[in-house]
Amino acid sequence: MIRFALVCANGHEFESWFASNESYDFQIANKLVSCPYCNGTGIAKAVMAPAVARAVGASAKPAAAPKQNVALLGEADGGLRDMARELHQKIVAATVDVGTEFAREARRIHDGEAPERPIRGQTSPEEARALLDEGVEIMPMPASPEDLG
Ligand SMILES: [Zn+2]
């Protein structure tokens, strides 16, 4: 079983368990998963990205770091781990790292103000949701086991 953090088109966040990635893909493609809050079926995986550092006032409480999605795989699933690592490496190889400028750059590309090219970087969950709402087709990076250290 794999647990995914999901987000609906209206920005509601919830979690759901799936037998496998394939099961997730099938259920999403066939609109079998609906938002528990609004029943919407425009479901996507919540973006897992490190939070952008935010300036906090002296009196403001520091923002809690968002939780990272992790999976514990059994012996038989070792191939999945390799696939995730391979996919991660492929995305890294195919994209330009724009770091914390990601949201700004993604918008510029979306608006035709910057040359279209694959980029990766960090953004906050709120910003990622805003981008998706604006029709910018971003996707979560698969974590490589090395990233979790
Ligand atoms: Zn919803």
d(CA 35, ligand 1 centre) in Å: 5
- pLDDT of res. 65: 59
Contact 141, 88 (CB under 8 A): yes
Long-range own/partner contacts, residues 84-87 (CB < 8 A, 24 or more apart): 84/142, 84/143, 84/144, 84/145, 85/144, 85/145, 85/146, 87/142
55 in a domain, yes or no?
no
Q: Over the stretch 15-45, which tens digit does the pLDDT of each residue have?
A: 888 898 899 999 998 999 999 999 999 999 8
d(CA 40, ligand 1 centre) in Å: 5
Is the pLDDT score of 60 beyond 50? no
Other Cβ atoms less than 10 A from the Cβ of 106: the count is 23
Q: Which stretch of DSSP H or E encloses residue 109?
A: helix 102-110
- pLDDT of res. 34: 92
d(CA 42, ligand 1 centre) in Å: 8
d(CA 64, ligand 1 centre) in Å: 23
Within this chain, do residues 79 and 27 fall inside the same structural domain, yes or no? no
Residues near ligand 1 ion, CB 5 Å cutoff: 8, 10, 12, 35, 37-38, 40
Within this chain, do residues 87 and 20 fall inside the same structural domain, yes or no? no
d(CA 25, ligand 1 centre) in Å: 19
Q: Alpha-carbon distance 107 to 92, whole Å?
A: 20
- Give the count of domains, the chain: 2
Which band of pLDDT confidence, cut at 50, 70 and 90, is reported for residue 88? confident
Within this chain, do residues 143 and 83 fall inside the same structural domain, yes or no? yes
- pLDDT of res. 137: 85
Within this chain, do residues 108 and 149 fall inside the same structural domain, yes or no? yes
Average pLDDT of every residue of the chain: 81
Q: Over the stretch 106-148, which tens digit does the pLDDT of each residue have?
A: 999 999 999 888 888 888 888 888 999 988 888 887 776 666 6
d(CA 28, ligand 1 centre) in Å: 14
15 in a domain, yes or no?
yes
123 in a domain, yes or no?
yes
CA 43 to chain centre: 12
Domain containing 87 equals 73-149
